[in-house]
Structure 1
Amino acid sequence: MSPAELDDEDTGIHCRLDELLAARGMTLTELSARVGVSVVNLSVLKNDRARAIRYSTLRAICDALECEVGELLVLAPQA
């Protein structure tokens, strides 16, 4: 597989960051300040474009949103 094909590969994982932020009345900017991750990087995650995430980042996001990993990252429905 070429690097371009890898970039377009669907991982089958969906990030529910938008929904969790809305449910908690929190902005992406506020989450960024709480977890020490740039808004740009959180946006990449939020839009399902992330290729990887550090466990420490995942833990910080879950702590800030008071959620479990399985509430943040879910399997996307198969086409």
Structure 2
Amino acid sequence: MAIVVRLDVELAKRKMSVGEFADAVGLTPANVAVLKNGRAKAVRFSTLEAICRVLDCQPGDILEHVPD
């Protein structure tokens, strides 16, 4: 089972840079890169809430379950 992070798609839709997004969410650009590249092992609900607030989206817009 794999969870794919579609953060890059949502950022592109909004023409938002990683730096702008990182500042708005309260993450470092390096941590945003970890999320975007699928290397994150976990995401706090508070971080997920901030991401959804900034992008005005639902968790399902940025997270997708892809069966093996």
Normalising by structure 1, report the TM-score: 0.81
Which structure dedicates a bigger proportion of its chain to strand?
2
| Paired position in structure 2 for 1:51 | 41
| Paired position in structure 2 for 1:65 | 55
Amino acid at match of 1:40: A
Q: Give aligned-pair identity as a percent.
A: 46
Partner Cα separation in structure 1 for residue 66 and residue 22 of structure 2:
25
What is the total number of aligned residue pairs between the two structures?
68
Q: Which runs of 5+ in 1 are unaligned?
A: 1-10
- Cα drift, residue 76 of structure 1: 2.2
Amino acid at match of 1:46: K
| Paired position in structure 2 for 1:15 | 5
After superposing on structure 2, the runs of 4+ consecutive aligned residues of structure 1 that deviate more than 6 Å are none
Normalising by structure 2, report the TM-score: 0.94
Higher relative contact order structure (alpha carbons within 8 Å, sequence separation ≥ 6): 2
- Match for residue 66 of structure 2 among 66, 70, 76: 76
| Paired position in structure 1 for 2:20 | 30
Q: What RMSD over aligned residues (CA atoms) do the two structures have, in Å?
A: 1.1
Structure with bigger gyration radius: 1
Q: Which runs of 5+ in 2 are unaligned?
A: none
